[in-house]
Amino acid sequence: MIAFAMGLGVSAAAAAAPATGNHGTLLQRPADAAFIAVPGVPECTTIAPLHGDMSKGPATLMVRMKAGCLVPYHWHTPSEELIVLQGAPLAQMRGQRPVLLQVGSYSQLPSGHIHRFRCTSKVDCLIFLVADAAFDIHFVDAAGKEISTAAALEAARRDDGRKW
């Protein structure tokens, strides 16, 4: 399990300031968000905290997956709601056929739901994501058995997409 507490507290805490000092968040160009690397996640995926502290509770995030990036099978403790803003991510829920998401596509993934994503477009995929609890990631193999982050990232590195 990877908890996203490392390196996120300062920028995320600023976004969660009390209403009296918080004038909201305005992001005119999603690609210009302040994306950061997250330990334990493929390097081709970065996250921009927009609101809340994802290491402590509900949060709104922007996720950027570089073209061709794969995040292997995993699940999260929080439920996720996402909207595709750019690119064409291929989503696959364990045991189901892959679905190509288009710009404007919406998805809701319940807590514990095993899934994987690949950015299939020539441009980076940008995804607006809302999590309803502290964000974590649990990598699993194709059978659903939890595996180490290192094993998951190595499997992602070797995956050429033909098994999708």
Q: Which domains occur in the chain, in start order?
A: 2-15+34-158 (2.60.120.10)
State percent of the chain over pLDDT 70: 85
Q: How many residues does the chain have?
A: 164
Rounded Cα gap, residues 147 and 37, in angstroms: 21
Predicted confidence (pLDDT) per residue in 36-69, tens digit: 998 889 999 999 999 999 999 999 999 999 999 9
Within 10 angstroms of residue 73's Cβ, the number of other Cβ atoms is: 23
Provide the sign of the torsion angle of the four alpha carbons 14, 18, 20, 24, taken in this order.
positive
* pTM of the predicted protein model: 0.81
Mean pLDDT confidence for 93-109: 95
Q: Locate 131 and state its tokens.
A: 């999590």
Rounded Cα gap, residues 117 and 102, in angstroms: 13
